[in-house]
Structure 1
């Protein structure tokens, strides 16, 4: 018996309608994938604010030699997370507080032997080049005894460095999240916009002629 109801659809027409709806769904999915793909490419392109930092890094590449040969200069724009920590009085600080200045962000801990060995060189770097244009921002990430790192600096007579700390060690996780902290110590040279200029995993002789030339080169440009 033939179905004469007004809303009935012959089997062939129903199948064609299903194909059309399926094709439309594919187009919608493909369009969404395209949008997300473009967004992903835009994210991967990096922050345009940091392109000058990459240009500077490439100019400094010949200076990454000798005692700072392990330094990797920035090849793509990277704006660092706005790292949050505390100063020596317990007041909150952020990396953005140093905007307009070139800084060497260093993560260290008293349980890290290479870190302890590196600290005198960082103190000397601050003594030689510290200015309104440049500062060594050495952030301690000891998570247990807050008095221990301060005592270490006092015992070693490291008086030029300002004391900064993050007892949660979140700064390490944030730098790790952008691929800039694989171990300790870690140092990142950052421009006045908060953009990476260069990074080194491990210690360096920061008061050596090679290191001074690298930092001076960043400041001169």
Structure 2
């Protein structure tokens, strides 16, 4: 005759064979919180290290402290007022000679304008700031003989949009039509946005450039161009 099982022994065996219960497992919420805390500590550590390295590089002069335009060289004094964003160069820089079309569809080259100071404005009809500043460029041209100081608005609109280019320039009397539908200024002149205006000396070299809209009929612009036209 079998002896009855001890009740306590039976209970203990059942608990040993039973799968782990929620009581004996680490709570899921606790696991999640631990993971989040570890990630936060890692992010903070990386951020602190990055700041320390950047500050050290900044102190050593290996990174610029100002991401804005740099005015240097003999023309830096003109980077003021309406030309506060003007980037001037320590020495004149060569600019790649490209071909584009005039208002009559004739091919011309940038080098054709050597012998004059050129205010080379890269724009498009779909660029709102370009259209805002265009009247000031027209006013600037009215103050100079175009054989000495030329405002050259170079549109990068599509060829089929020539009528829109002409219409826009008619609103600013005195400015000629020039178009480059191949958009060469972006790759060959390093232009990343519009409007961008490049100032060329009488040798056809770049001496300054300004990215963005400006008031081109301001006195400081005239002072700069007069200095270059001497």
Does the pair score TM above 0.5? yes
Structure 1 counterpart of 2:110: 95
Task: Confirm whether residue 134 of structure 1 aligns to residue 117 of structure 2.
Answer: no
Counterpart CA distance in 2 for 1:102 and 1:63 is 16
- Number of positions where the alignment pairs a residue of Structure 1 with one of Structure 2: 158
Q: What TM-score, normalized by structure 1, do the two folds share? A: 0.68
Counterpart CA distance in 1 for 2:145 and 2:98 is 21
1:203, distance to aligned residue in structure 2 (A): 1.3
Q: Who wins on radius of gyration, i.e. which is larger?
A: 2
Q: How does 1:16-165 map to 2 (within 5 A)?
A: 58-143=73-158, 144-154=160-170, 156=171, 158-165=172-179
Q: Return the match for 2:186 from 161, 172, 183.
A: 172
Structure 1 counterpart of 2:196: 186
1:146, distance to aligned residue in structure 2 (A): 1.8
Structure 2 residue matching 1:153: 3-state secondary structure: helix
Q: What TM-score, normalized by structure 2, do the two folds share? A: 0.65
Counterpart CA distance in 1 for 2:122 and 2:73 is 24
Q: How does 1:2-17 map to 2 (within 5 A)?
A: none
Structure 1 residue matching 2:165: 3-state secondary structure: helix
Computed over aligned residues only, the root mean square deviation of the Cα atoms, in angstroms, reads: 1.5
The answer on whether the counterparts of 1:85 and 1:171 sit within 8 Å (CA) in structure 2 is no
The answer on whether the counterparts of 2:89 and 2:207 sit within 8 Å (CA) in structure 1 is yes
Counterpart CA distance in 2 for 1:186 and 1:218 is 19
The answer on whether the counterparts of 2:116 and 2:202 sit within 8 Å (CA) in structure 1 is yes
Counterpart CA distance in 1 for 2:98 and 2:214 is 22
1:76, distance to aligned residue in structure 2 (A): 4.4
Counterpart CA distance in 1 for 2:134 and 2:193 is 16
Counterpart CA distance in 1 for 2:80 and 2:121 is 19
Structure 1 counterpart of 2:207: 197
The answer on whether the counterparts of 1:64 and 1:214 sit within 8 Å (CA) in structure 2 is no
Counterpart CA distance in 2 for 1:87 and 1:79 is 23
Give the unaligned 5+ runs of structure 1: 1-56
Structure 2 residue matching 1:114: 3-state secondary structure: helix
Q: Alpha-carbon deviations, 1:59-78, whole Å to 9, x = none?
A: 22112100111101112442
Counterpart CA distance in 2 for 1:89 and 1:106 is 19
Counterpart CA distance in 2 for 1:109 and 1:173 is 16
